[in-house]
Every structure is written in C-alpha cells, then in structure tokens.
Amino acid sequence: MKINHHNLPEHALGGQRRLTSFHFGQPGMGKKIYLQASLHADELPGMLVLHYLKRLLCQAERRGEIHSEIILVPVANPLGLAQVLLNGGVGRFDLVSGGNFNRDFPDLAQLVRDSLQVCTFHDASDYRQQVRSAMTAALSMMPSRSEVAALRQQLLLLACDADLVLDLHCDDRAILHMYADPAYCQQAEVLARFMDIGAVLLSQDSGGGSFDEACGLPWHRLAASHSDWSQFEPGCMAVTLELRGQQDVSHALASNDAERLYHYLQYYGALAGDPPAVPERETLMLPFAAGEILRASASGVLLLLRQPGDWVEANEIVAEVIDPLTDTVTAVCAQAGGLIYACRSAPFVTLGAEIAKIAGKTPFEGGGGLAA
Ligand SMILES: [Zn+2]
C-alpha cells in the first residue's frame, strides 16, 4: 500500500490541510477503482467501512491477490470535518461559501471537448485512454480559486480516469440505498445485490454537479456532442452508496459492508479468488424522477407514522405535525406513494423542513429533486 498526501492551498494564515489517499496495485494494472467516504463530512458510516476495507486489502496485498489499481480516500473532506458548531459537526455545507460540498464539481466534458476535437481515435480503448488523459491534464491545469475548489479538483483528479467510482454517503435516517446512472442499470443491480441493497434510484443528470455525476456524466455529454464519439461506450460507472443513517456507525455494520464490498471487487475481477456468485436478492431499480420529498406544511412536533423501509400508497398519511399551542394536527401525505427510503431523525420541524423521501415506480410531474 502506498500513501499519498495532497496538500490543499492554505485557506487562512498558519494552517494548511491535506487530503490522504491509499493506493493498492499499480496504475495501468487491470481496471481502476476509486472509493471515497464522507464527502459530506457529517456522514461517517463510509469512513469506518473504508477503515475495514483497507485492512482487507492490505491482507490481500500481502497474499499477492490484488489485480487492479484500487484507491481509497476514507476522509474525503478534511475541511468539513473541522467545521464544528456548538459541539456538533457541520459537514454538509462549506461555511465559507455556503455551498453543498457535493455540488459544483467541474464539468469535465466542457473542459476537454475542444482539445479532443483534433484527435483521431483508433478504437474504443484508444478513445477511453485519450479522454482520460485529457481530463487529467485539464484538471491539473485548473487554477485553485479557494480551498474548497481545490478539494473538489483534487478528488476528481484521483477519480476521473477510473472505471468504477464508489462515493460513500448516508442520509439522516435511512435504509441502505444507492444512486446510479441508468446506462449502468445492470451493473448497478449486481453491485446492489452484493451490498444487500433493495432499492436503487436511477438518474443520469439530476443537476448540481455532484461527485458521482462529475465522474460519469462527461462520457455521456461527450458522446452527445460529437457523432463520431457516440459509438463508444461510456468509460466510468460512478455510483453513490447511501450507507443507512448518520447514527448507523458500528463495528458490525461497517465490517459487514466492507466484506460485501470486498466480495464485489472479487466479482469485478480486481482481486484474486474464485469470483463469488451474485447474491440472490430482489433489488428494485426505480427512476429518480418517480421520487418525492415530503416537507412540513406547518411547524411543530413531528410524529412519523411510517418508517424507512415501509411502502405507502398515494395520499396515505406518512406523518403528523402537532402544534401544542393551537392543538392543530397537520397530516403529511405522500403524493404518489412508493418506498420510504429516508426520513428526518429530529422530532421537530420548522415550516418547509424535509420530513421523508419516497421512491416510486412511475415518474410524475414534479417528481425527483436533488439527491445525496
Ligand atoms: Zn451525503
């Protein structure tokens, strides 16, 4: 295992932070796999999972069983991790700019499109190689306008030429679920079955420039912009794994998730050993545009009548908001219905606050919304 440190530009006098990546295998050896955790720095389950996975990969390395280049970044956001307010972590938004840490990643298609116009590609492999080189070169030349911009740039530099990118997040309180690109529907279903995930939300461009889409979407954008390039397969499957809720940090869950990831990497061909069979499991592939986010139409004490993992019908009451001053009880109903996959953990809501997220089977007007 090789350890690399990537210095970030100093945000304020007297303090420079760095990002640390752990490397297994060699560049150019098999497919490249990139895993990171806690880009939203208050989402810690993935950090512990990568701690366990690192241990498994070190053992595999000693046995000479690593057949791919694998990079782990267990602490993807040292900036967010250091943001503490009144003893609580503020890891989702950058307190300097107000921006969500998992938004506004650079658009690689835009950065490389012009330089690729003059290239000729002999075959799909040559195309993939040249696109990846152009992406790396363009990112390397970008000026770092702030510490958070440099963080996004560095994370993308480590991941943009990978075949497989796994970004580990979690929700407030949630069941295991995953966001994936519909172009990789079948492969995502296999990964979901290895991870024991029952629901995969499919979306190619949910807007906002999230990390997974910053890795996967440029390939589609390039293919759409040039008729000669549309014949080539996209080069990166990037998914966001949502490892339950923020409080779901335990040895048992994390070591089990790490073993499942390890088995998937064996199946993927990155690690030696007989490829394990794809686990039997029903996994629903649901269009993200069929989802809905329930919000509070009044402030008050929140009582959830249904929980993550439950299916609800259209117009079914999911929660009640109680105002003890007027004794008003406001019902919160599902619009189209579906599987509740995440909900709020705090039992109080202000007007407009998110209460629950529901994944349905059929897209509807007004469905979807920004994820992760
Ligand atoms: Zn997140």
- Residue 169 alpha carbon to ligand 1 centre in Å: 4
Residue with the two structure tokens 């993992």: 309
Q: What is the pLDDT of residues 121-159, one digit of tens each?
A: 999 999 999 999 999 999 999 998 999 999 999 999 999
Three-state DSSP class for 237? strand
pLDDT score of 371: 44
Residues 6+ apart with CB under 8 A from 233: 124
Single-letter amino acid, residue 265: L
Closest residue by Cα to residue 155 from 85, 227, 209: 209
- Residue 57 alpha carbon to ligand 1 centre in Å: 25
- Residue 43 alpha carbon to ligand 1 centre in Å: 6
Angle between helix 251-268 and 185-194 (nearest 10): 140
pLDDT band per the 50, 70, 90 thresholds, residue 372: very low
Residues 6+ apart with CB under 8 A from 51: 74, 254, 258
- Residue 71 alpha carbon to ligand 1 centre in Å: 20
- Residue 343 alpha carbon to ligand 1 centre in Å: 14
- Residue 241 alpha carbon to ligand 1 centre in Å: 9
Average pLDDT estimate for 186-208: 95
Q: Is the pLDDT of residue 21 over 80?
A: yes
pLDDT score of 369: 55
Q: Is the pLDDT of residue 239 over 90?
A: yes
- Residue 126 alpha carbon to ligand 1 centre in Å: 34
- Residue 339 alpha carbon to ligand 1 centre in Å: 20
Average pLDDT estimate for 81-91: 95
- Residue 202 alpha carbon to ligand 1 centre in Å: 16
Cβ count near 1 (within 10 Å): 14
- Residue 101 alpha carbon to ligand 1 centre in Å: 9
pLDDT score of 362: 86
- Residue 79 alpha carbon to ligand 1 centre in Å: 15
- Residue 226 alpha carbon to ligand 1 centre in Å: 33
Is the four-CA dihedral 189, 194, 199, 201 of positive or negative sign? negative
pLDDT cut 90: percent of the chain above it: 93
- Residue 94 alpha carbon to ligand 1 centre in Å: 13
- Residue 266 alpha carbon to ligand 1 centre in Å: 26
Transcribe 89-115 into DSSP letters. Answer: E--SB-TTT--BTTS----HHHHHHHH
pLDDT band per the 50, 70, 90 thresholds, residue 370: very low
Q: What is the pLDDT of residues 282-332, one digit of tens each?
A: 999 999 888 999 999 999 999 999 999 999 999 999 999 999 999 999 999
Domains parsed from the chain with CATH numbers: 2-282 (3.40.630.10), 288-359 (2.40.50.100)
- Residue 6 alpha carbon to ligand 1 centre in Å: 22
- Residue 211 alpha carbon to ligand 1 centre in Å: 10
Give the whole-angstrom CA distance, residue 340 versus residue 175: 9
Single-letter amino acid, residue 347: P
Average pLDDT estimate for 94-105: 96
Name the more confident of 172 and 205.
172
- Residue 80 alpha carbon to ligand 1 centre in Å: 12
CB 213 within 8 A of CB 140: no
Name the more confident of 367 and 321.
321
Mean pLDDT, rounded, of the chain: 95
- Residue 246 alpha carbon to ligand 1 centre in Å: 10
